[in-house]
Chains A and B, each alone.
Chain A
Amino acid sequence: MIHSLFLINSSGDIFLEKHWKSVVSRSVCDYFFEAQERATEAENVPPVIPTPHHYLLSVYRHKIFFVAVIQTEVPPLFVIEFLHRVVDTFQDYFGVCSEVVIKDNVVVVYEVLEEMLDNGFPLATESNILKELIKPPTILRTVVNTITGSTNVGDQLPTGQLSVVPWRRTGVKYTNNEAYFDVIEEIDAIIDKSGSTITAEIQGVIDACVKLTGMPDLTLSFMNPRLLDDVSFHPCVRFKRWESERILSFIPPDGNFRLLSYHVSAQNLVAIPVYVKHNINFRDSSSLGRFEITVGPKQTMGKTVEGVMVTSQMPKGVLNMSLTPSQGIHTFDPVTKLLSWDVGKINPQKLPSLKGTMSLQAGTSKPDENPTINLQFKIQQLAISGLKVNRLDMYGEKYKPFKGIKYMTKAGKFQVRT
Chain B
Amino acid sequence: MSASPAYGEEKGGSGLGEPEYGHDPASGGIFSSDYKRHDDLKEMLDSNKDSLKLEAMKRIVAMIARGKNASDLFPAVVKNVACKNIEVKKLVYVYLVRYAEEQQDLALLSISTFQRGLKDPNQLIRASALRVLSSIRVPIIVPIMMLAIKEAASDMSPYVRKTAAHAIPKLYSLDSDQKDQLIEVIEKLLSDKTTLVAGSVVMAFEEVCPERIDLIHKNYRKLCNLLIDVEEWGQVVIINMLTRYARTQFLSPNQNESLLEENPEKAFYGSEEEDAKEDKPDAASLVKRKPYVMDPDHRLLLRNTKPLLQSRNAAVVMAVAQLYFHLAPKAEVGVIAKALVRLLRSHSEVQYVVLQNVATMSIKRRGMFEPYLKSFYIRSTDPTQIKILKLEVLTNLANETNISTILREFQTYIRSMDKDFVAATIQAIGRCATNIGKVRDTCLNGLVQLLSNRDELVVAESVVVIKKLLQMQPSQHSEIIKHMAKLTDNIQVPMARASILWLIGEYCEHVPKMAPDVLRKMAKSFTGEEDIVKLQVINLAAKLYLTNSKQSKLLTQYVLNLAKYDQNYDIRDRARFIRQLIVPTEKSGVLNKYAKKLFLAQKPAPILESSFKDRDHFQLGSLSHLLNTKAVGYQELPDWPDEAPDPSVRNVEVPEWTKCTSREKRKEKVEKPFYSDSEGESGPTESADSEPESVSESESESGSGSSSSSGSGSDSGSQGAESGDRSEERRKKKKGKEGPRKAFLDTAGSNPSEEEEEEQGKKGKRKKKPQHEGKGDSGSSWEEGSVSESSSSESDSGSEAEESQSEPESKRRPTPPSSKAAPKATRKGTKEISLLDLDDYRETEARGREGTCPRSPSRPVAELGILGLPEATARVTTAPPQPASSPSVVSTSLVTDLEGLSLTDTSLASTLLSPTFSAVRTHELLHRMAGEGLSVEYCFSRQPFVPDPHMVAVHIQFSNSAEAEVKGLRVCAPRLLPGIRLQEFPEIESLAPGDTASVVMGIDFSDSTQAANFQLCTHSRQFYVSIQPPVGELLAPVFMSENEFKKEQGKLTGMSEITEKLTLPDQCQSDQAIVQRVMVAANVSRVPCGADHVYRFAAKTVTSGSLVLITLERKDGARAQLTVNSEKMVIGTMLVQDVVQALAP
Contact = CB atoms under 8 A, between A and B. Distances in A.
B233 A190 contact: no
B1134 to A, nearest CB: 9
B90 A398 contact: no
A330 interface: no
B1060 A244 contact: yes
Contacts of B371: 267
B751 interface: no
Interface string A81-107: 110100000000000000000011111
Interface string B122-144: 11110100010011010000000
B855 interface: no
Interface in A104-131: 104-111, 114, 118-119, 121-123, 125
Contacts of A161: 159, 196
Contacts of B66: 15-17, 106
Contacts of A84: 347, 349-350
Contacts of B313: 81
Given A217-B1130, A235-B312, A261-B312, A107 B91 contact: yes
A16 B65 contact: yes
A232 interface: yes
Nearest to A104: B4
Interface stretch (A66-74, A299-307, A350-358, A379-387): A66-74
Contacts of A187: none
A103 B1 CA distance: 10
A192 B2 CA distance: 56
A362 interface: no
Contacts of B135: 119
Interface string B790-817: 0000000000000000000000000000
A119 B417 contact: no
Given A1-B203, A106-B62, A235-B312, A249 B673 contact: yes
A266 B375 CA distance: 7
Main secondary structure of the interface of B (DSSP, over half): helix
A199 interface: yes
Interface stretch (B25-33, B517-525, B620-628, B699-707): B620-628
B688 interface: yes
B335 to A, nearest CB: 11
A14 B645 CA distance: 52
Given A72-B632, A80-B350, A415-B381, A137 B159 contact: no
A233 B310 contact: yes
Nearest to B618: A73
Given A155-B86, A165-B671, A77 B318 contact: yes
A335 interface: no
Given A162-B159, A240-B678, A398-B978, A232 B342 contact: yes
B122 A156 contact: yes
A137 B1 CA distance: 8
Contact of A315 (B374, B383, B417): B417
Interface string A41-53: 1011011101000
A151 B672 contact: no
Interface in B391-436: 409, 412, 415-417
B338 A230 contact: yes
A156 B631 contact: no
A164 B65 contact: no
A142 interface: yes
A6 to B, nearest CB: 9
Given A75-B318, A233-B312, A239-B674, A41 B383 contact: yes
Contacts of A324: none
B51 interface: yes
A417 to B, nearest CB: 6
Given A77-B350, A106-B7, A121-B166, A155 B626 contact: no
Nearest to A260: B312
B603 interface: no
Given A22-B101, A107-B61, A153 B90 contact: yes
Given A22-B101, A149-B50, A72 B631 contact: yes
Interface in A309-341: 313, 315-316
Nearest to B1060: A244
A203 to B, nearest CB: 5
B233 A122 contact: yes
Interface stretch (A177-185, A364-372, A402-410): A364-372
A250 B978 CA distance: 21
Contacts of B317: 232
A266 B381 CA distance: 19
A269 interface: no
Given A48-B627, A104-B4, A374-B381, A75 B240 contact: yes
Contact of B94 (A23, A74, A110, A243): A110
Contact of A240 (B341, B634, B677, B1129): B677
A125 B90 CA distance: 18
A17 B977 contact: no
Interface in B169-224: 169-170, 173, 196, 200, 203
Given A238-B677, A265-B372, A153 B86 contact: yes
A33 interface: no
Contacts of A285: none
A106 B381 CA distance: 34
Contacts of A119: 134-135, 166-167, 169-170
B123 A232 contact: no
Contacts of A393: 1129
Nearest to B4: A104
A369 B233 CA distance: 45
A396 interface: yes
B686 interface: yes
A1 to B, nearest CB: 7
Most central of A60, A161, A249 by chain B CB within 10 Å: A161
A41 B386 CA distance: 13
A157 B621 contact: no
Given A48-B626, A71-B632, A81-B313, A396 B131 contact: no
B1008 interface: yes
A46 B353 CA distance: 10
A413 B379 contact: yes
Contact of B352 (A19, A47, A188): A47
B116 to A, nearest CB: 16
Given A47-B353, A190-B377, A313-B417, A78 B315 contact: yes
Contact of A163 (B232, B348, B380, B685): B685
B633 A47 contact: no
A118 B166 contact: yes
Interface in B56-100: 58, 61-62, 64-67, 85-87, 90-91, 93-94, 98
B635 A73 contact: yes
B314 interface: yes
B65 A110 contact: yes
Contacts of B101: 22-23
17 contacts: A44-B384, A48-B353, A71-B632, A74-B623, A76-B626, A77-B315, A77-B350, A82-B315, A111-B90, A118-B166, A159-B687, A231-B310, A232-B342, A238-B674, A241-B673, A368-B415, A396-B1010
Interface of A: 1, 14-19, 21-23, 26, 41, 43-44, 46-48, 50, 55, 58-61, 70-78, 80-82, 84, 103-111, 114, 118-119, 121-123, 125, 137, 142, 146, 149, 151-157, 159, 161-166, 188, 190, 192, 198-199, 201, 203, 214-215, 217, 230-236, 238-241, 243-244, 249-251, 258, 261, 263, 265-267, 313, 315-316, 365, 368-370, 372, 374, 393, 395-398, 413, 415, 417
Given A76-B621, A251-B673, 17 more contacts: A16-B66, A17-B66, A26-B67, A41-B383, A59-B349, A78-B315, A103-B7, A106-B3, A110-B94, A111-B94, A159-B688, A165-B671, A201-B374, A203-B345, A230-B338, A265-B375, A368-B415
Per CB-CB distance, the 10 closest pairs between chain A and chain B, nearest first, are: A72-B633, A395-B1130, A151-B87, A199-B374, A240-B677, A369-B415, A164-B672, A122-B233, A43-B383, A239-B675
